[in-house]
Copies of this chain bind each other. A is one copy, B any other.
């Protein structure tokens, strides 16, 4: 059996889902729905959807409906489509928090229609359908949150469909999902904001700000409106985890005040251990990457010539980062390659061309 797909909201995520599902074995056709007719036109042109349609007509034949509009619009859309869905239809979304959406599904969807929350852990620097990318979900984690007593079959169908986007499906309870994203996403955001606000009125601090501070606070540059929505949609979990964090920071304050070095040290050590256990690639699908450091001259094309030197010998650069640049002089670059053998060969090849290089 192949499926009719409807995508409501053909922007970055909706467009990428369309591109990723076009031609997938499980998919019969893709209908796009959007308040903006231009987005529909673009989506048809770029092959993200087969056709555009108005809301009610667009969902009528759908076996799976992806709601890809902003979090706060989901309940209203569910209400608007509920009487136009066919029996057995699966309705899912892509929002950053899941309990509120699951409540809307439970309250609004008629019996025989299956509401299953979804959260692809992927984004892009470019918004709108123009940023849609058929590989956006490739190897990304995609969480599905079925309701308390899911029919097994719809969950399996949706998981298989999402798998055909190239994503790694993880199924969990909605409240568990919301607690975990409070830890890994919402709390870091609040902390970055609070940290940056500590520097209010201290322009000199920003002048000194080295890489660490920029890294830690990058997410504080994200759109405030979007984050207000996310934080309030996950209020309870964020408050709970925030209290845990405040307790942890208060402990630090007390240990410093009481000069309890052992306690401070053990918390620093615990954090290092936990952090080192974060998978380097989210997925484990990538080959282990070895790293090398190279000090290169600052000349147009130097990155090209390094790439060419390694490429000629079949060594693929799978990761690259410029660690430091000295204008007119040179820079330090970190290169990731697929194996230790590649890394060793790369170091030799680079040294032969006069580049200072070593294994990291």
Contacts and interface: CB of A to CB of B under 8 A. Distances in A.
A184 B190 CA distance: 16
B207 A282 contact: yes
Interface stretch (A32-40, A47-55, A75-83, A216-224): A216-224
Interface in A165-188: 166, 170, 172, 176, 180-181, 183-185, 187-188
A344 interface: no
A191 B195 contact: yes
Contact of A216 (B122, B130, B188, B305): B188
A267 B221 contact: no
Contacts of A274: 196-197, 199-200, 206, 220
Contacts of A214: 278
A66 to B, nearest CB: 20
Contacts of A271: 192-194, 196-197, 217, 220
Contact of A188 (B217, B269, B322): B217
B228 A268 contact: yes
Chain A interface size, under 10 / 10 to 19 / 20 to 34 / 35 or more: 35 or more
Contacts of A232: 256, 259, 261, 264
Nearest to A252: B190
Interface in A293-327: 293, 295, 298-312, 314-327
A299 B213 CA distance: 34
A332 interface: yes
A318 B244 CA distance: 42
Interface stretch (A6-14, A102-110, A133-141, A149-157): A133-141
A189 interface: yes
A201 to B, nearest CB: 9
Interface in A205-250: 205-210, 212-222, 224-225, 227-228, 231-232, 235, 238-239, 241-246, 248-250
Given A209-B282, A305-B308, A248 B325 contact: no
12 contacts: A126-B293, A126-B360, A133-B332, A166-B326, A184-B205, A197-B271, A197-B274, A246-B249, A301-B307, A304-B308, A304-B309, A320-B322
Interface of A: 121-122, 124-126, 130, 133, 135-136, 138-139, 141, 143, 166, 170, 172, 176, 180-181, 183-185, 187-200, 202-210, 212-222, 224-225, 227-228, 231-232, 235, 238-239, 241-246, 248-250, 252-253, 256-257, 259, 261, 264-265, 267-272, 274-279, 282, 285-287, 293, 295, 298-312, 314-327, 329-330, 332, 334, 358, 360
